[in-house]
Amino acid sequence: MALESEVRRQPLHVVYVGPVDYSSSSADAQRMAGVERALRDAGDYVQIGSGGRQSHGRLAQDETAENVTLLAELPDPRWGRIRRVWRGFTWGASTCSWIKQMKDPPDAILVYGTSLGYLLRLIRLARRLNVPLVIDAVEWYKSSHLPGGRFGPFALANAISMWLIARRSSGLIVVSRYLEHHFTRQGVPTLRVPPLFVPRMDQSHVDLPDHPVSLCYVGTPGRKDRRTVQNLVLVCRELGLDESELRIDIVGVDKSVAAALIGPDAAAAIDHPSLRFHGRVSAAEAREVVAHSHFSVLQREVDRYTQAGFPSKVVESLILGTPVIANLTSDLSEYLSDGENAKVLADASTAALTQAVSSITSAPYDYDSNAIAATARDRFSAEKYGESLHGFLVSLRATTTAARLAKAASIGDRK
């Protein structure tokens, strides 16, 4: 108890930065908002250095807008491709300049992600300021998914960050057990924290009729979730159900983009009447789709990148009281229980999804949305992790201070 009270008596000034548009509703911005809220609940003062630019008068998530500085690290969408790609190698410079201009150095620098440009600059700066540089690691990108492919410059930069540079940090907050094991083996202090969410007033579920069974996918699929979209299109054809029995909402891509993404085999079934493509919508509209669905769906192959990350889509669905249909990747086995908050699939195949949907459409819907939401909000609430995050940063700051004093003493002895 003495240690707990001592930790609580030491509020920290934390600078939290990264190549993230904090004003957006992206998973990256939500992660930053969750960690910021957790530290603020622990009594810390957090300044956000957003990589975003001024856009339509929005600065950041409303309640922390006054603590957010736009550093314009992210490329302007109007730039040409070469200039946008080049920015990926040079970003971090504006962030370092911003920190250097502060009257007093922060107690800790927290950087979102493992961007090589940010890490190379911030690790050096943190050492000059004698403060801990802490990484919030949430991904291990698959090389083939990066611009230029598996042998391109971004793949090389990613490998250097994950194997060589990140371990030079003072410590890491990691989103998964896989990343925890990786960096612990490298001898770096780690703290595992799942996706965190700040409660919203508009989070509510509705009573749904048994039929049609409604499924949804919400997101920007890209290569990571191409399989999910493809399987949702194919399951309509496989089961032969009509729109009175099955409805599938796909949010984030329109029909033409989805057809190009999933290939000719699945594209032949894309006009099925049970499928509804919504394209890009607001975050509030996306939540409405999830809240009005019996299940959200996510299928991902078992690979390093899916084990290292943590699908925030699953957390968002559960918080809204909507169970998920998913195969187990990352740490999902710790949070999903078949028949309670999920329909757990054996793998990421179309056959696995088809079998699950077939069983769902032939049985009454008996999932308790209120219980699902209450459990998820407890497990993934920002407030729950404030003390552990604060304590972790305090311990790293103490280690950094001790190392600085030991170095000064060693220099004095040599003199």
Residue 391 has pLDDT above 90, yes or no: yes
- Res 55: pLDDT: 65
pLDDT band at 411 (very low <50, low <70, confident <90, very high): low
The segment with the largest mean pLDDT, out of 4-18, 52-66, 176-190, is 176-190
Residue 47 has pLDDT above 50, yes or no: yes
Q: How far is the C-alpha of 226 from the C-alpha of 233, rounded, in Å?
A: 11
| Summary mean pLDDT of the chain | 88
Q: How far is the C-alpha of 231 from the C-alpha of 299, rounded, in Å?
A: 8
Residue 354 has pLDDT above 90, yes or no: yes
Residue ranges, CATH 3.40.50.2000, the chain: 2-199+382-414, 213-378
- Res 128: pLDDT: 95
Reading the block at residue 209, the tokens are 């009729």
Residue 4 has pLDDT above 80, yes or no: no
User: Per-residue pLDDT averaged across 236-253, rounded?
Assistant: 90
Q: Per CATH, the architecture of 2-199+382-414 is what?
A: 3-Layer(aba) Sandwich (3.40)
Least confident of 16-25, 145-154, 212-221: 145-154
- Res 153: pLDDT: 84
Evaluate whether 28 touches 112 at the Cβ level (below 8 Å).
yes
- Res 57: pLDDT: 47
- Res 266: pLDDT: 73
- Res 31: pLDDT: 95
pLDDT band at 254 (very low <50, low <70, confident <90, very high): confident
In this structure, what are the phi and psi dihedrals at residue 324, rounded to the nearest 5 degrees? -120, 150
- The three-state secondary structure class of 204 is coil
Q: How far is the C-alpha of 10 from the C-alpha of 304, rounded, in Å?
A: 38
CATH number of 213-378: 3.40.50.2000
Reading the block at residue 320, the tokens are 């809204």
CA dihedral 34, 326, 250, 315 (to 10 degrees): -10
**What is the distance, to the nearest Å, from the Cα of residue 192 to the centroid of all Cα atoms in its chain?**
13
- Res 320: pLDDT: 94
- Res 3: pLDDT: 46
- Summarised one tens digit per residue, pLDDT across range 188-223 is 999 999 999 876 645 556 678 888 999 999 988 878
| pTM of this structure | 0.89
Distances (CA, A) of 97 to 32, 91, 118: 21, 12, 12
pLDDT band at 7 (very low <50, low <70, confident <90, very high): very low
User: Per-residue pLDDT averaged across 316-338, rounded?
Assistant: 96
User: Per-residue pLDDT averaged across 367-383, rounded?
Assistant: 93
Residue 328 has pLDDT above 70, yes or no: yes
pLDDT band at 370 (very low <50, low <70, confident <90, very high): very high
User: Per-residue pLDDT averaged across 357-385, rounded?
Assistant: 93
Q: Which residues pair with 46 in a beta bridge?
A: 14
User: Per-residue pLDDT averaged across 14-35, rounded?
Assistant: 93
